[in-house]
Amino acid sequence: MKTIINGKNYSPSDKLKATIEKKFEKLDKYFSNEITGNVMTIKEKGGYKVEATINAKGTIFRAEVKADDPYDALDGVIDKLSSQMSKFKSKLQKKYKGSKDFMFAELPETEEAEELHVVKRKKFELIPMTVDEAIVQMELLAHNFFVFLNMETDSVNVVYRRNDNDYGLLETTY
């Protein structure tokens, strides 16, 4: 697995980068060399946040941990990623049976993930609107996301409220 390391609000030290590389080497045994892991270390008020995303041919593993020390946050991220992989091992094996991108034999056995099931279905008409109109509609509904047909791009988009109370936009492609 290739690891890409970036910093936000500061430049991570060479020692931290080397530690990130070393920790992510532990995850190498689960993936082929063509898989990429992105790690973002962020300096925030009161500490650090480490975000990691592994895009594995259609399956995305993601974890983020805040801590006073970036090394502690990194340890938490590695633990979360390993836990995700172990928890969903059998479901991933079914999806990627015969794939050379994943090495499932290396994943430790843990408690099986609960059966996933949809408890509610809802159908609604996609109404063409602008991003601003979608945000207003989301706020009127008091939801934290809203799916709409973007009239500017003629594609399905999602607006959502971010943790920092700003808004995000997901643009789909297919």
Name the packing angle between helices 14-28 and 70-87 (round to 10°).
10
Distance, CA of 121 to CA of 110 (rounded, Å): 31
pTM (2 d.p.)? 0.63
Average pLDDT over the chain, rounded to an integer:
84
Calculate ∠ Cα 47-52-55, nearest 5°: 165
In order of 58, 117, 121, 173, the CA distances from 147 in angstroms are 22, 21, 14, 14
Cα 14 to chain centroid, rounded = 25
Sorting pLDDT into bands at 50, 70 and 90, what band is 61?
confident
Average pLDDT over residues 43-67: 88
